[in-house]
Chain A
Amino acid sequence: MKPRRELSEKDAPLIEVINVGKIYEPSPPAMKILLRSSITEPVVALEDVSLSVPAGGICAVVGPNGAGKSTLFRILTGLTIPSSGQAFVGGYDVTRQSYEVRKLIGFAPPGDQSLLLRNTCKENLEFHGRLQGIPGKALTRRVREVLEFVGIGHAANRVTVALSSGMKARLQLARALLHRPSVLILDEPTAAVDPIAAVEILDMIQAVVAHEQSALLISSHRVEEIEALRDKVVLLDQGRMLYQGPLDALRSIWEEPRVEMVFSDVDEAMKAAALIEQSEVAKVVDQEGAVLLLATRSEIGALLGTLQGMVHGIKSVREVVMPLRELLAEVIGQKRPIERSQ
């Protein structure tokens, strides 16, 4: 089957989501006889979400629980269909060409539930490799290769239930990479992993994306991971997209640069705070003893200029970067979309 969108341009997106919305409707009354449903009225899970990820690109989907991240992933993997809008993977429509889409995708769901816990690592991958249509000898070779790559080659014959959380996460990644997918969709791949192992796993993922020129869509609750990916970020909250773009651009739009000044004593700091408040160069965000935290978009020279003769009382000056956790919390807390041109 031909893709509905021809990927003729070199930098055409491998993942393209266009104004996608998803409303979970209550089950029809007849179905309630079969299964108890908690949905009594329509639930808007996604609203007008658009994003694109090119080959070799990384997009981190960030948002609190219930933001719509998993629904977005389910749409892209064909497990559900959008109520409005369209989504394409490798040019194939995820609603109508689900089979072709699934050939291109490597997916890792959150948690270890989807692993065959009573089977060995090798058996897990062999099973999925057969479903993916990888022939016998090539499958044996590929299983060994991918287990070595994720660092659990030594545990190939170990039963999955006996693996540590970190090893299970690596096995999930190995399964997603098995058929060399051109699109990787990883839903919280490091949620159950210690920070050091998480860094290793992220490094592997980044190496695969760079080497295979695949497109990566990843969700994570770990802010340090999102920062480490240093690529595009999509901020979702209650199904709405608050921001899409590079993380650095979000900082420059949202974050007012902060400067920390340490004075020789508290009196000096108080006098300086009074002078700064009178000026329009900066504003005092916080004062703790002899330390002032200032918010300013002016040059440091202009700031020092307002202090005139008090400069000699300054012990140190440094720029303070707003922690990403705080930045994301502020953006999500504000609950309104941010335009890149803002």
Chain B
Amino acid sequence: MTVRKTVRNLWQVVMAFVRLSFRQALSYPLRFGLGQASQFIPIVIFYFVARVFDRPDSAHGGDYFTFVVIGLIGTRLLDAGLRGLSQEFDQAINRGWLEMFLVEPVRWRFMPFAMSMWPISSASIGAMAMFGISVALGAQYAASGLGAALLVGVLGLLAGLSIATLAASVAVLSKSGDPVLYLYTLAAQIFSGVYFNVELLPGPLKALSYVIPHTYVIQGLRVAVMPGGAELPGFSVPEVVVALVIFCAVMYPTSLWIYGRALEFGRKLGVLSGY
């Protein structure tokens, strides 16, 4: 298969899954609408929290509200790849679609990527909306860092997708990707610095935060777009980019390989159909 043909084929598969997920989401309009709206609630909560604890603090770049909003946007982007793919897989398994997806002439390794494109697209739009709302509520951003933030965001999505593909490997065998995600999101919530700077963590826990890509994405976004970002303790944007590139270069092919092995093992056991 030529590269051009492969890309065309992948594009067609991606569009098939994006349209399917979009229609599926719009089949339950109220749930979809409220689900989208609910992601903005934390911004409002932290707007008031920041006003209560309104203290200039170098650990938070001098503006706690902007600090947390960037953490929330970073988490939203990473969770899109992470939770989104797992939810798409769980839906396909529980509704009995996965068997037909696997019988179609699609390269199986395309599927995690294609199935995650809808959650990633909708999360990216959601992240932009969060950004807009936070500006309206008084968050301060440095426009000069938007390009670097975009790069960090894209690398963050790919990092999330790598972990999600690992979760999908577990899902095809166990019929649920949740076990891996529970473990990961629990660690990410505590150690990635969404609500506070990881530099405040004690030594061993700080070391743990360095193996979670969330930490780099959130730090990179903050340093890039917060007006006082350069003063934040921790990694600089180039260091974040290098760390994320290494993580993605190692993890994405590895997780795709593990996913392929999981499917082969599932074929051997005969557990790919049913749930």
Say whether, besides A131-B105, A131-B106, A81 and B24 are in contact (CB < 8 Å): no
Q: Is B105 in contact with A103, judged by CB distance below 8 angstroms?
A: yes
Q: Which residues of B contact A109 (CB under 8 A)?
A: 99-100, 273
Q: Report which A residues bind B (CB closer than 8 A).
A: 22, 24-25, 27, 31, 34-35, 45, 71, 74, 77-81, 99, 102-103, 105, 107, 109, 111, 113-114, 116-119, 123, 126-128, 130-133, 135, 179
Chain A residues closer than 8 Å to B174, beta-carbon distance: 31, 34-35
Partner among B12, B24, B99 whose Cβ is within 8 Å of the Cβ of A133: B12
Does B270 count as interface, using CB distance less than 8 angstroms?
yes
The interface residues of chain B, by DSSP majority, are classed as: helix
Q: Are A130 and B270 in contact (CB under 8 A)?
A: no
Q: Does B16 sit at the interface, judged by CB under 8 A?
A: yes
Determine whether the beta carbon of A127 is less than 8 Å from that of B16. Answer: yes
- Chain B CB count within 10 A is highest, among A71, A80, A123, for A80
Within 8 A of A (CB), among B176-205: 176, 179
Query: Which residues of B have CB within 8 Å of A24?
Result: 269-270
Given contacts A31-B173, A118-B23, contact A132 B99 (CB under 8 A): no
Mark out the residues of chain B between 77 and 104 whose CB falls within 8 Å of any chain A CB in the assembled complex: 95-97, 99-104
Partner of A78, one of B101, B102, B175: B102
Residues B15 and A131 in contact, CB atoms below 8 Å apart:
no
25 A-B pairs, CB-CB below 8 angstroms? A24-B270, A27-B269, A27-B271, A34-B179, A35-B271, A45-B270, A71-B270, A74-B273, A79-B270, A80-B267, A81-B267, A99-B105, A102-B103, A103-B105, A113-B96, A114-B97, A127-B16, A128-B104, A130-B16, A131-B13, A131-B16, A131-B101, A131-B104, A133-B105, A179-B105
List residues of chain B with CB within 8 A of the CB of A31. Answer: 173-174
In the complex, the chain B residue whose C-beta lies closest to that of A117 is B95
The answer to whether B23 and A133 touch across the interface, beta carbons within 8 angstroms, is: no
| Contact of A35 with B175 at beta-carbon distance under 8 Å, contacts A79-B102, A103-B105 already known | yes
**Given A113-B95, A114-B96, A116-B97, are A130 and B103 neighbors across the interface (CB < 8 Å)?**
no
B261 is an interface residue with CB less than 8 A from chain A? no
CB-nearest residue of chain A to B111: A131
Nearest to B273 among chain A residues (CB) is: A79
Q: Which residues of B contact A130 (CB under 8 A)?
A: 12-13, 15-16
Q: Name the one of A78, A113, A114, A118 contacting B27, with C-beta atoms under 8 angstroms.
A: A118
- Once bound together, how far apart are the Cα atoms of A80 and B266, in whole Å? 7
| B20 touching A119, Cβ below 8 Å | yes
- Nearest chain B CB to A127 CB, angstrom units: 5
A79 to B272, CA, bound (A): 6
3 residue pairs, one from A and one from B, having the closest CB atoms: A34-B174, A113-B96, A130-B16
Assess the B104–A132 pair: CB atoms within 8 A. Answer: yes
- Name the residue on B nearest A108 (C-beta): B100
Least distance between A156 CB and chain B CB atoms (Å):
15
